[in-house]
Structure 1
Amino acid sequence: MTETTVAQALVTTLRDMGVRHVFGVPSGGWVDYMEALRTTDGIDFVLTSHEGGASFMADVCGRLTGVPGVCFGTFGPGATNLATGVGGALLDRSPLIALSDEMTAPMRGRVTQMGIDHQALFAPITKMTTRLEADKVSDMLAEAAKVALSGRPGSVHVGLPVGLSAAPATPAATGPIAATPPAAASTNAIAALIAAFTAARKPILAVGLGAAHARVGDKVIALAERFGLPIVLTPMAKGLVPEGHGHYAGVLFHALSDVVGQTHAEADLVVAIGYDPVEFNLESWMRDGLAIANIDVEPLDIDAAKHPVAADVTGDIAASLDALLALDAAPRDWDLAAVADRKAETFRRLAPDSNRFGPCAALDVLRDVLPQDGIMACDVGAHTHLIGQKWPTPAPGTQLMSNGWSSMGFGLPAAIAAKLCRPDTPVCAVVGDGGFLMTVGELATAVREKLNIVILVFTDNDLALIRIKQEKKHNPIYGTPVRPEGTIGGPSLFGVPVVTVDNPDALRAALVDGFAADGPVIVEALLDSREYDGLVLHKDKP
C-alpha cells in the first residue's frame, strides 16, 4: 500500500466504509482532515452552526443509511457541545462515530487552555472511547464502526491527538462494515418461551426499537395474525406495524396511553420483542404481577420482584420468533373487536377540535400534504406525544424522533441530515417554538447546503408539557412561556422565508408551496396549546 498521512487514511477509510458526510465545526487541529475531505471524492465536510447540531445530524445519517454517522468537535467546548448528540445516539440506538481533538501525550493531565479529559467525558455516553494511533488508522476505525453497529447500536468516540494528522500512515483496505450478528438463543431459553406462550391465554406483543433494527416487522404481524394477538409499540418502533392493521392496539407512553392501557391490562403475558426499556421502563406500564417473556439481543431489564420472568430469550430475534411461528396452536382468547374499538376511540379523540386551530389539525394537514414516502422529523415537546400516537407512519425511518434521549433541538438537524441522505425524498421538521430556538442557527446550514426542507413551527409561546404538569400540581404558570406573545419574528430567518398561518387552509397552501420551493422554508403555525391538555400525560397503568 502507498504511504499516506493519518488525515488521508482516516478520510479514505471513512469513505470506503460508506460515510458520505462528516458534520462539525472545524479547529486548527482539524485543518489537515479538512484538506483530505476536500480532495477525496465521495465524502464531504458539512459545516454546522453548532457541534450539537452536528452530532444530531450524524445520528440521523446512521439511522437512515446503516453506516455510522460521523461528527467532529474540538477541545473542551467543542467536545462538550458535541456530547449532546453523542449521548443521544447512545440512548436512541443510532450508530455514530464522534471524532474530537485531543491533547498531545506530554500535555495530557497538564493545566492548559480548553484542556479536559475527552476519554473521561465520552466514556459514559458511548459504547466505547479510544484514541487514534498512526499505524492502526483503518483497523481502529473499522473496530469503532463494528462496535457502533453491533448489538444495540450506539455511539463510539475516537480522539485525534493534535499533530497526528500529518504523521505517516499505511491504510489497510477497508470496505463496508457489518454488525456482528447475534448468536442464536439457547435451547433452554427457547423452550421456556414456548412453554410460557403455550400456557398463556391472552399474551400481548410489546414491540420496540430492537425489532425495527432486526427488521422483523413481517414476523411480528404474522405472529399476531396466527394467534389472534394485539400489538403495542414503543414510539420509536412506529412504522413497524400499520396503524390500520386489525391487530394494532396503539403506542405506549404517548397521548391517551390510558386507552391503550385498557388493552394491555387484560394480558396474562407480555411477549416483549426487541423491547428497549430506554424508551419506557416495562414496569411503568405493566400491571403488577404480570409475567413477561423477553425476546431481544440484550438480557431483560425489569424489576423481577414485581414481574415474573417466564423467559429471557437473548439472541437472534428473527430465529426466536420463528420458534413461535412454528407452533401448532389455536388462536388465543382476545376480543379483537374490543381492541379495535379502543383504537378507534383513541383516533376519534385525537381528531382536531373544530373550535380551535390546534396541533391535531396541523398534523392532519401535514400528513395529507406530505407524500407517504416522505420523512418527518419531530422535536421533543408536547407535540411529540401527539405524533407518537396520532401520526400514521407507513414504514420505519419515515418518522424520526428522539425518545430514548429526548433532547429538545433534535428536529431541525434531523431533517437536514435526512435530506442529505435522501435528496429526492420530501423532508420536513415539526418543532415547537421552544425547541426551535435551541438549534435555529442550523437554518444557516440548510441554506448553505441548498436543502429543500419544510420546517413547521408550532408557535404557542408555551412549554406545554411543563405548564400542564405545573397546573396538575395547582402551581402558578412560571418559567414556561416562551415569550409574552407574538411570533418567531420577521419575514425571514437566516435567509429562510417565514410564512405565518393561523388556520388549516392557509397551512395547507403554505406547505404545498414550501415543498415545491428550491430551498428551506419555515411555516409558522399559530396554535392553541390548550388542545394538548386533555390528550397527553395520561396514566399508563389503569
Structure 2
Amino acid sequence: MTDISVAQQVVDALKELGVKHVFGVPSGGWVDYMEAIRTTEGIDFILATHEGGAAFMADVCGRITGAPGVCFGTFGPGATNLATGVGSAYLDRSPMIALTDEMPEHKRGRIVQMAMDHQALFAPITKKTTRLEAGKVREILFDAAQEALSGVPGPVHVGLPVGMSAEKTTPQDIAPLPQIKIDNAGSEQLEKMQQLFTQAKKPVIVLGLRAALCGIQDEVKALAEKFNVPVVINPMAKGILSESHPSYAGVLFHALSDVVGQTHQQADLVVSIGYDEVEFSYEDWMPDAPLVSLDIVTTELDTQQYTLACDVLGDIPHSVQQLLACDCGPKDWDLQALAARRDDMFTRMSPQNDVFGPCAALDTLREKFPQNGIMTCDVGAHIHLIGQKWPTPKVGLQIMTNGWSAMGFGIPSAIAAKLCNPETPVCSVVGDGGFLMTAGELAVAVRENLSIVFVLFTDNDLALIRIKQEKKSNPIYGTPIRERGTIGGDNIFGVPVLKAFNQNEYGHALEKAQAMGGPVIVEAILDSREYDDLVLRKDRG
C-alpha cells in the first residue's frame, strides 16, 4: 500500500465514518487538512466565524446525521472558544469529534505562545480525550467515533500535533468499529418492572431524550392507549407523542409546568423511559411515588428522599416492549380531566388581547411554517414557551439545547440543520440577547447561500433574569439590551431584515421571507411582559 500523508488519512477516515462537513476556523497547522478536504469528494470544510459556533454546528450535525459531528480549533483561544460548543455536545448527548492543534512533542510542557494543555482542557467536557499518532490514524479516529456514538453519545477530543499532517505513513487496513451493543435488561429487573406497573393504579410515563433517540414513538403511543396513562415529556424529547393525543400531559420544566404538575403529582408510580437527569433533576419535580427507570445508565436519584423501586438497565426498546406486554387493564386516570388541564394550559399560552407578544409570534410562525420543517431555537424566555407550546409532529423537527443551555445556539444550529437537510425548510427563533452572541455566523449562511428564516424576537430584555430580579423585589439592572428600538438596520452581514411591529406585519414578513430564498431575518418587535405569568413556575403545582 502506498504511503500517504497523515492529513489525507484523517480526511479519508472521517469520510468513511459518514462525515460530510467539518466546521472550524483554520490555523497554519490546519492547512494540510483543508487541502485534503478540498481535494476529497463528498466532504467539505465550512468556515465558521467563531470556533464556538463551529462546535454548535458540529453538535447539531451529529444529532441529525448519526455520524459524529466534526469541528476544529487551533491552539489556546481557538480551543477555549471551541470548548463552549463541545460542552454543548457533552451535556446534550450529541456524538462529536473535536479536533484541535497541539504542540509537537518537543514543545509540550514548555513556555510557548498560545500553548496550553488541551488534554486537560477537554477532559471534563468529553467522553475521552486523546492525541493523533502518525502510524495509528484510522485506529485512533475509528475508536473516537465508536466512543462518541456508543452508549450515551457525546464528544471525543483528538489533538493534532502540528507538523504531523505532512508526514507520510502507510494507512492501517482496518474498518470503522461497530457501536457497542447494549444488552437487554435482566429478567429479574423486567419482571419486577412488570409487577410494579401491574399493581399501580395511577402510573405516569415520563419520556427523556434517550427515548426520543431510540425510535419508540409507536410503542409509547401503544403504552398510553393500552393502559390509559398520561405521558409527560422532557423538553428534548419533543415530538415523541403528539400534543393532541389524549394522554399527552405536557412538558416538564417549561412554561406553565405547574399545570403539568397537577397531573404527575397524582401518580402512585413514575415510569421514566430514557430519562436524562441533565435536562431536569428528578428531585425538582418527582411526586411522592416510587420510580421505575428504563434506561441504559444507572439512575441518579436522592434515595434518602425518594424510592428507586427498579433500575431497568438495558436496551430501551426491548424494555419498553416488555412493559407493553404487562397483563393488566386500563389504569384509573381520568383522561377527561387531563384534557381539561391540557386545554387550559394551551389557552393560557394563546395571545392575550391585542398585544403583539411571543405567544402571537409563535402561533403565526407555526401557521406559516411548513409542518415538516425544522425549527431550532436559542436559549432565553422564548425557549420555555417553545418547549411547552410549539406543536412538533415528530422527533427532530424541533432542535434546542437544554442540558448545556448556551445562549447563542440558535443561529449555528439552524445553519447545521440546513446543511444536513438542504431540501427541508428550516427556521430559527432567537432572542435579541442570544442573537448578539453569534450573529457573526450569519456570514456563514450567506456564504453557503442557505435558505433559512431567522425569526428574531426583539424585546430589548433578558426576560428570564429580569423576572427573577422582580421576584426578589430587586431593581431592573443589567438586563435591558438597549433602551428601545430594533436590533439594527435593514441588512446584517448581508442578510436582509424584515421588521414587524404588529401581528399583521409579522405574518406578511414571514410569507415574504420564505419566498425570498437565501437567509432572511424577520425581526418581531415584541412585548416581553407576556412571559411573566407563563415561565418559571413550580413543577409540583
TM-score higher than 0.5:
yes
Alignment-derived partner of residue 408 in structure 1: 407
Deviation at 1:176, TM superposition (A): 6.4
Alignment-derived partner of residue 258 in structure 1: 258
Q: Distance in 1 between matches of 2:114 and 2:192?
A: 55
Question: Is 2:462 the partner of 1:463?
Answer: yes
Give the alignment of 1:303-382 within 5 angstroms. 303-382=302-381
Question: Is 2:513 the partner of 1:494?
Answer: no
Alignment-derived partner of residue 140 in structure 2: 140
> Cα deviations across residues 234-280 of structure 1 (Å, max 9, x unaligned)?
00000000101111110000000000000001000100000000000
Provide closer, same or farther for how the CA distance between residues 173 and 445 of structure 1 changes in structure 2, counting only shifts above 3 A.
Answer: farther
Alignment-derived partner of residue 22 in structure 2: 22
Alignment-derived partner of residue 437 in structure 1: 436
Q: What SS does the corresponding residue of 2:31 show, helix, strand or coil?
A: helix
**One-letter identity of the residue aligned with 2:367:** D
Contact 1:18 1:175 in 2 (8 A): no
Question: Is 2:184 the partner of 1:184?
Answer: yes
> Cα deviations across residues 116-150 of structure 1 (Å, max 9, x unaligned)?
00000000000010001111111111111111111
Q: What SS does the corresponding residue of 1:394 show, helix, strand or coil?
A: coil
Contact 2:378 2:430 in 1 (8 A): yes
Deviation at 1:518, TM superposition (A): 2.6
Q: Distance in 1 between matches of 2:176 and 2:420?
A: 17
Contact 1:53 1:442 in 2 (8 A): yes
Contact 1:378 1:384 in 2 (8 A): yes
Contact 2:25 2:72 in 1 (8 A): yes
Q: What SS does the corresponding residue of 2:204 show, helix, strand or coil?
A: strand
Q: What SS does the corresponding residue of 2:540 show, helix, strand or coil?
A: coil
Contact 1:16 1:174 in 2 (8 A): no
> Cα deviations across residues 453-505 of structure 1 (Å, max 9, x unaligned)?
11110000000000000000000000000111111111101111111101112
Question: Is 2:288 the partner of 1:268?
Answer: no
Aligned-residue CA RMSD in angstroms?
1.0
Alignment-derived partner of residue 521 in structure 1: 520
Q: Distance in 2 between matches of 1:179 and 1:23?
A: 24
Contact 2:490 2:497 in 1 (8 A): yes
Contact 1:17 1:177 in 2 (8 A): no
**One-letter identity of the residue aligned with 1:210:** R
Q: What SS does the corresponding residue of 2:165 show, helix, strand or coil?
A: helix
Alignment-derived partner of residue 292 in structure 2: 293
Give the alignment of 1:24-103 within 5 angstroms. 24-103=24-103
Deviation at 1:409, TM superposition (A): 0.1
Deviation at 1:170, TM superposition (A): 2.6
Contact 1:50 1:442 in 2 (8 A): yes
Contact 1:149 1:178 in 2 (8 A): no
Alignment-derived partner of residue 121 in structure 2: 121
Contact 1:270 1:291 in 2 (8 A): yes
Contact 2:22 2:46 in 1 (8 A): yes
Write out the 4+ residue segments of structure 1 that deviate beyond 3 Å after TM superposition.
172-178
Q: Distance in 1 between matches of 2:508 and 2:317?
A: 45
Alignment-derived partner of residue 13 in structure 1: 13
Contact 2:198 2:327 in 1 (8 A): no
Q: Distance in 2 between matches of 1:149 and 1:456?
A: 32
Q: Distance in 1 between matches of 2:228 and 2:143?
A: 43
Deviation at 1:201, TM superposition (A): 0.7
Question: Is 2:241 the partner of 1:241?
Answer: yes
Contact 1:9 1:170 in 2 (8 A): no
Q: What SS does the corresponding residue of 1:523 show, helix, strand or coil?
A: strand
> Cα deviations across residues 27-50 of structure 1 (Å, max 9, x unaligned)?
000000010011000000000000
Residue-pair matches, total: 541
Question: Is 2:427 the partner of 1:428?
Answer: yes
Give the alignment of 1:131-170 within 5 angstroms. 131-170=131-170
Q: What SS does the corresponding residue of 1:164 show, helix, strand or coil?
A: coil
Deviation at 1:174, TM superposition (A): 6.4
**One-letter identity of the residue aligned with 1:385:** H
Q: Distance in 1 between matches of 2:25 and 2:162?
A: 16
**One-letter identity of the residue aligned with 1:26:** P
Contact 1:89 1:96 in 2 (8 A): yes
> Cα deviations across residues 506-538 of structure 1 (Å, max 9, x unaligned)?
111111111122311011000000000000000
Contact 1:185 1:320 in 2 (8 A): yes
Q: Distance in 1 between matches of 2:454 and 2:82?
A: 23
Q: What SS does the corresponding residue of 1:99 show, helix, strand or coil?
A: strand
Provide closer, same or farther for how the CA distance between residues 172 and 246 of structure 1 changes in structure 2, counting only shifts above 3 A.
Answer: farther
Q: Distance in 1 between matches of 2:227 and 2:260?
A: 20
Deviation at 1:293, TM superposition (A): 0.2
Deviation at 1:177, TM superposition (A): 5.9
Deviation at 1:178, TM superposition (A): 4.6
> Cα deviations across residues 76-112 of structure 1 (Å, max 9, x unaligned)?
0000000000000010011111000000111111111
Q: Distance in 2 between matches of 1:403 and 1:65?
A: 20
Contact 1:137 1:169 in 2 (8 A): no
Q: Distance in 2 between matches of 1:478 and 1:176?
A: 54
> Cα deviations across residues 334-367 of structure 1 (Å, max 9, x unaligned)?
1111111111111010101123100000001111
Of 366-375 and 323-332, more deviation after overlay is shown by 323-332
Provide closer, same or farther for how the CA distance between residues 510 and 189 of structure 1 changes in structure 2, counting only shifts above 3 A.
Answer: same
Alignment-derived partner of residue 391 in structure 1: 390
Structure 1 alignment gaps of length 5 or more = none
| TM-score of the aligned structures, taking structure 1 as reference length | 0.99
Q: Distance in 2 between matches of 1:57 and 1:212?
A: 20
Contact 2:229 2:331 in 1 (8 A): yes
**One-letter identity of the residue aligned with 1:435:** G
Alignment-derived partner of residue 208 in structure 2: 208
Provide closer, same or farther for how the CA distance between residues 170 and 515 of structure 1 changes in structure 2, counting only shifts above 3 A.
Answer: farther
Structure 2 alignment gaps of length 5 or more = none
Q: What SS does the corresponding residue of 1:141 show, helix, strand or coil?
A: helix
**One-letter identity of the residue aligned with 2:312:** V
Q: Distance in 2 between matches of 1:175 and 1:369?
A: 46
Q: What SS does the corresponding residue of 1:377 show, helix, strand or coil?
A: strand
Q: What SS does the corresponding residue of 1:46 show, helix, strand or coil?
A: strand
